[in-house]
Structure 1
């Protein structure tokens, strides 16, 4: 995944008040789409230090925290140990480089991850393979923002275009909406976040 080196360096200082707040609104938005998930297994994809997934541990039977940055995952391991969390595990893996054929989940959620991924359709296709039948992929990310110009990340996403790409992959029953607008939350610019729910 893009920008792994950067995330390796900032893992110890990643959890700022702003990021904690965005994670809270993101996990609340995801929670609205969860129905009867207590016996389901989930993957927090591109989990960072687990700010979103940690908020959702009680909603699932188990969560696998997956990221390309081992230093980020080490932060989660400390949380798991210090809080004696029984239903969480970590995995360092890069879906842009390899496919993980033996990994399966009922739910995959990713919060502000897609913007770091170079080949969006490749990764969404590989996540589709990981989902169990009728499983859900939930995406939280920024709406397209023309003011953002960066070599590091996408400048957000057009919801209609993203839905179109995902439909071609095979995702169905896709719904999305903008749910949050914040000041200077995307590379110093005001921006809005959307949530997208899709099913295999």
Structure 2
């Protein structure tokens, strides 16, 4: 996945108050779309230090924290150990370069991850394959923001364009809405975030 080397360097200082706050916003937005998930298994895809998934542990039977950065995964392992968490596991894995394993999940959520991915359609189609029939992919990310110019991340997404890509892959029952607006939350710029829910 994109920018792994950058995340490797900041793993142990990643949990800033700002990131913790945005993670709470993200997990609260995701929770709105969860129905009868206590017996379901989830993947926190591109989990970073697990800030979002940790907030959702009680909503699922189990959560797999998946990231391409070994240092980020080590941060999660430490949290799982420190808090003696029984329903979490970790996996260091890169969907963009490694062959699909036998991973399966009822829910996959990804918060501020898609903007780091070069080939959005490819990764979304990979995630489609991982979902169980009837499973949900939940994406929290930034709305398209023309003030941001970057060669390492997308400057957000148009919800309609993302919906079209996902329909093409085979996702259905797609719904999205803007769920948060904040100052200086996206590369120093004021920005808004959306949540998108899609079903296999």
TM-score band w.r.t. shorter chain? over 0.9
- CA displacement at 1:100 relative to structure 2: 1.9
2:8 is aligned to: 8
Q: How do 1:57-68 residues align onto structure 2 when only pairs under 5 Å count?
A: 57-68=57-68
1:21 is aligned to: 21
Query: In 2, Cα distance between the equivalents of 1:101 and 1:135?
Result: 18
2:157 is aligned to: 157
Unaligned runs of 5+ in 1: none
1:75 is aligned to: 75
Q: Secondary structure of the residue that 2:196 maps to in structure 1?
A: strand
Judge which range, 64-73 or 95-104, deviates more.
Answer: 95-104
1:99 is aligned to: 99
Query: In 2, Cα distance between the equivalents of 1:114 and 1:36?
Result: 26
1:108 is aligned to: 108
Task: State the Cα deviation string for residues 92-118 of structure 1 (Å, max 9, x = none).
Answer: 000111232400000000000000000
Q: Secondary structure of the residue that 1:155 maps to in structure 2?
A: coil
The TM-score with structure 1 as length reference comes to: 0.99
Query: How many residues were matched structurally?
Result: 200
RMSD between superposed Cα atoms in Å: 0.5
Q: How do 1:44-55 residues align onto structure 2 when only pairs under 5 Å count?
A: 44-55=44-55
The TM-score with structure 2 as length reference comes to: 0.99
Q: Secondary structure of the residue that 1:37 maps to in structure 2?
A: coil
Q: Secondary structure of the residue that 2:64 maps to in structure 1?
A: strand
Task: State the Cα deviation string for residues 65-113 of structure 1 (Å, max 9, x = none).
Answer: 0000010010100110011000000000001112324000000000000
Query: In 1, Cα distance between the equivalents of 2:163 and 2:99?
Result: 23
Unaligned runs of 5+ in 2: none
Q: Secondary structure of the residue that 1:19 maps to in structure 2?
A: helix
The question of whether the paired residues in 2 share the 8 Å contact of 1:99 and 1:126 is answered with no
Divergent runs of 4+, >3 A: none
